[in-house]
Amino acid sequence: MISHFSSSIGKLNTDYLNYTDTLVDGFPQSSPKTRIFKPVDSNYSKNSVIQFPKGYTKEYLEHKLNRHTSPKYHQQLENQTTKYFKSISDFISKYSNKDSMHKIPCDVVVCSKTSNEDNNISLVHLNYPNEWSAGEAIGKPFYYFHKSIKRRDGSSIVPDHYKLIDNFVGSGNFYERVGAYSIRETPHLDMHPDLQQKCSWNPGTEIEDFYLRFERQVVAGLPEIDSFIFLIHTYFVSASAKPSLMKSAIQNRDHYCYPRDVIDTMERELIDCCDRHVLNK
């Protein structure tokens, strides 16, 4: 079903709130700054906490709902309290009207403080992981997610992480970040490391279509359990859906942008693909 979805879908655009419009100025060096927002009662609002996607087929989304929990996708530290799980469940129910992590269309991570300056990832529930696994992340500090991401000067993208954690847990704010841009050969939602297939592109390959993948990440505090919840929503936009935008994003990119490796290797081929779709519109 996944391969059929990937080969048959055209002009895929799940970016129904137009987050990608900012890419007309090029892929940035890093993601736009985190913003504070106030939740409202709408799954499709920019201010909603848990957004339910548009653009995917019903059958494709049901693949997630029917998948059994496995250690590759779900891990939790032992000896968690009833209060811990109730806090998470109450949050999901409040902002999605669903009663389970299995029923919401995003990855769920809970990070808990273990001391004034230390923390660990105490729960991971993955629906559509981006090349990482639950078993690899569980028990690690939150900066695990950014361990390989450096600024141009070589410094960490998340300095003073324990101060950041304190703010996430106790400020009472909701935070949003849109980024983690990458260019993909197929729109596979589930990119668990065990399922990865090598990209078939080589310089000179004629690319019929390609896909921009990006994430909307939301953070909210769970102060009653000295933790915060981190939600990762995945979106795809095909070059055939927004060819002019994709071309502009590539041509005007910062040379330290996240998708720089594939662009540096395949720039001419990617732009040629965009140009063909512009002509066919």
Confidence of residue 262 (pLDDT cuts 50, 70, 90): very high
What is the tens place of the pLDDT at every residue in 13-44?
A: 889 899 999 999 999 987 677 899 999 877 78
| 87-93: average pLDDT | 95
Average pLDDT over residues 148-159: 66
Q: In this predicted model, which residue has the larger pLDDT, 145 or 185?
A: 185
Non-local CB neighbours of 29 within 8 Å, separated by 6+ positions: 151, 152, 254, 256, 257
pTM of the predicted model, to two decimals?
0.90
pLDDT digits (tens, 9 = 90+) for 93-143: 999 988 888 888 889 999 999 999 999 999 999 988 888 899 999 999 998
Long-range (24+ apart) CB contacts under 8 A made by 251-254 are 251/26, 252/24, 252/25, 252/26, 252/27, 253/26, 253/27, 254/26, 254/27, 254/28, 254/29
